[in-house]
Every structure is written in C-alpha cells, then in structure tokens.
Amino acid sequence: MIRIVPVLALLGASAALHAQQPVPLSLEHRMTLRCSAAFALVAHGQEAGDAKALTYPRLGGEAREFFVRAAAQVMDEAGLDEEGIRAALAAEAQDLVDHDSLAPVMAACLPQLGQLDGASRR
C-alpha cells in the first residue's frame, strides 16, 4: 500500500535536499505539489490524533491517489527525477509549516480531490 506519510520524513532529511537547486516549476505544478504536501501533513496529523487535523474530512485512498498522481505528473511534465520531486514536496511541506498556512491551502485543495487528470480516469 502506498502511504503519503513518508513525505514528512523528507523534512528531516533537509540537508541533502536543500543542497539541490530546485528546477523552476510552473504555478500549476507548485499548487499541485502544495496540495499534495497539505494532504500528507493532514493525513499524518489524523493518524496521530492531532485535533486540528481531525477537523478535516478523513483523508484516505483518494488523497493518496492524488499524491501519487500529482508527483508523477509533475515529474513527467517538469522533467524532475525522484530526488527533485522529493525536494519540491519537502519544500512545499516545510513552507506550509513555517508560515502556518495549512488551513487556507486545505480550503483550496480539498475540492481538488478526484480532479487531477480526471479525463484519464473516465
């Protein structure tokens, strides 16, 4: 089973990841990764019983699928390798934590569940 929680472990491995210069991503790519990071943070919080995370709808398979599809799509479209996508996801997650911006990002991202590459799902 693919889990989104391991992205949080990337925050602890920042030394190697921050050494890599990130590839400039489009606004669409950044927002897709930002939503993925937000879903990972909330899912981890829900599993840990965090009161703030539990105020959101339970994130499960649909959020995991969004995370995986988003990472693959951005890797393909932006030409990132695994290290590059990990660095980009870690940077977005760290920014959400540093700026305490999880709530407004979740408000924008929750409606996106099920929308990523929706045409290929039909």
pLDDT at position 14: 45
Give the C-alpha distances (Å, rounded to integers) separating 6 from 26, 36, 43, 58, 76: 25, 12, 11, 18, 21
Say if 3 falls within a structural domain: no
Say if 59 falls within a structural domain: yes
* Domain total of the chain: 1
Say if 8 falls within a structural domain: no
pTM of the model: 0.75
Q: What mean pLDDT, rounded, does the chain reach?
A: 83
Say if 55 falls within a structural domain: yes
Q: What is the dihedral of CA 66, 35, 42, 121, to 10 degrees?
A: -20
Residue 77's domain comprises 25-115
pLDDT in tens, 35-80: 999 999 999 999 999 999 999 999 988 999 999 999 999 999 999 9
Confidence band, pLDDT 50/70/90 cuts, at residue 24? confident
Nearest one of 82, 41, 39 to 61, comparing CA atoms? 39
Say if 17 falls within a structural domain: no
